[in-house]
Amino acid sequence: MAEVEEKKNFEWLPEGMEPLADGEYDAIIMGTGLKECVISGLLSVQGMRVLQMDRNNYYGADCASLNLTNLYKKFDAGEPPQSLGANRDFNVDLIPKFIMACGNLTKMLLHTKVTRYLEFKSIEGSFVYKGGKVLKVPATPEEALKSPLMGLFEKRRFRSFLLYVDAYDETKPDTHKGKDLTKMTMRELYNSFGLVADTHQFISHAMCLELNDDHLDQPALPTVKELQTYCYSLARYGTSPYIYPVYGLGGLPEGFSRLCAIHGGTFMLNRDVDEIVYNDKGEAVGVKSGNEMARAKFVVGDPSYFPKEKVRATGQVVRCICFLDHPIPNCGDMESVQIIIPGPQVNRTNDIFVCSISALHNVSAQGIYIAIVSTKMEGADADKEVTPGLALLGNIAQRFTMVATTYEPVSDGSTDKCYISSSFDATSHFEGDVDDLLSLYKRVTGKDLDMNINADSVEADY
């Protein structure tokens, strides 16, 4: 007869409660969204004992990839029509985003070697909306010379500007050409090359991925670095600067979860957190779930796991997931594209993002294209907010619309040991979200994550 494993007894455990899993941990992570899974993976590699919980029965939280049945169930849309194809062919992202090929998320994947669990493919084209037309963002100097985005003389000025940005090195004053980008604004830098306002908008929104025009009157250096990342990423593939995981973004949190599990992390899906437990100083020291409790030095999680007084709303994001039976028109029949609609082009403050993926990335059945339109809400009518993006898609076979309130933490977590991530933004790329992730890592550990890794260094991973 097998021995019954004796439950551990802890002095801190309230009477009548059982220990949750092993009882004591260094960190308890709530939610299996990408940010939470990256943190759990990095902490476990450093030797910390990690318990990660999620109220859902799948990984990914708000950024999960769902099959057809689960997608229709989530939106109460009944049974999926057979014409869409087999359930197993679909991996639909709830928060679809592309990855900058040489950006910080790629560096994190390489840094942690999570790339070994994933396969990526490049996105075929990057486009920008201008003057009522969808135009390709030039991927080569030859394309730039032929592009209808600019007139002949503006193209020459644009080329001179890009050559300057490509050569610029913050540590080598001879590359600065007398320009102090820590003081000179981005608008002044554009003007110094004679570039017109339309070109400022196209570069800033479609290449630097700025979300509004605030940066134009701020020091140019951060924006120039963003442009360098875009150009380096573009040079890597020659079609667009973006890559995307085969089978959808759900593989990212799963990859980091696997990293955590390999290093001794404990995972509990389908297990909600009923209460965060605090000590007399107001510091989080554990969580309760049912009649079980676990203790830790601190807790990390997405805003949905914390009391309302610990987070504040930052706005709302609308996302439309659309099924098409054709590629997005006017994009050269490409299987995967991103289109950025700069806000000022459609009398908005915030940009509208359109992205499309297909069976090429193993996210849909053959002949079905998934297009997603997203933006930050500026009014109360969600449909009106995304109308300019939906208008580019042609005939839409099926559409799912969701509006989500976005949140950020009220404090940095140093006093209450509650380290809270911010909600994912409205963009169709990860650059802003990775900044939040790096900030979260520093708040939790007290040190910067070492990002001194060449994103070109593991060619075989792509």
Q: Mean pLDDT throughout 99-120?
A: 88
One-letter amino acid of 353:
F
3-state secondary structure of 331: coil
228-286 residue pLDDT tens? 999 989 888 778 899 999 999 999 999 999 999 999 999 999 999 999 999 999 999 99
What pLDDT does residue 6 have?
54
Q: What pLDDT shows up at residue 459?
A: 44
pLDDT band at 2 (very low <50, low <70, confident <90, very high): very low
Nearest to 160 by CA among 146, 183, 173, 144: 144
Tracing tokens 């009477």 back to the chain, one arrives at 15
pLDDT, position 125? 92
- Residues 348 and 376: beta-carbon distance below 8 Å: no
Query: In the chain, what percentage of residues exceed pLDDT 70?
Result: 96
| Measured distance CA(61)–CA(55) in Å, rounded | 8
Tell me, what DSSP letter sits at residue 185? Answer: B
How does DSSP assign 367-435, residue by residue? T-EEEEEEEE--SS-HHHHHHHHHTTS-S-SEEEEEEEEEEEESS-STTT-EEEPPPP-SSSBSHHHHH
State residue 457's pLDDT score: 46
Q: Would you say 361 and 368 are in contact if contact means Cβ atoms under 8 Å apart? A: no
Give the tens place of pLDDT for each residue, 8-67: 778 899 888 999 999 999 999 999 999 999 999 999 999 999 999 999 988 888 888 999
> Per residue, what are the HEC states of 250-274?
CHHHHHHHHHHHHCCCEEECCCCCC
pLDDT digits (tens, 9 = 90+) for 411-454: 999 999 999 999 998 888 888 899 999 999 999 999 998 877 66
pTM (predicted TM-score): 0.88
CA distances from 442 to 42, 296, 301 (A): 12, 18, 15
Distance, in Å, from the CA atom of 84 to the CA atom of 365, rounded to the nearest integer, reads 7
Higher pLDDT, 205 or 429: 205
Name beta bridge partners: 321: 372, 400
Output the pLDDT for position 248.
Answer: 92
Taking 50 as the threshold, does the pLDDT of residue 317 lie above it?
A: yes
| Rounded Cα–Cα distance for residues 429 and 431 (Å) | 6
Residue-averaged pLDDT of the chain: 91
Q: How confident is the model at residue 157, as a pLDDT?
A: 92
Strands 292-295 and 92-93: unpaired
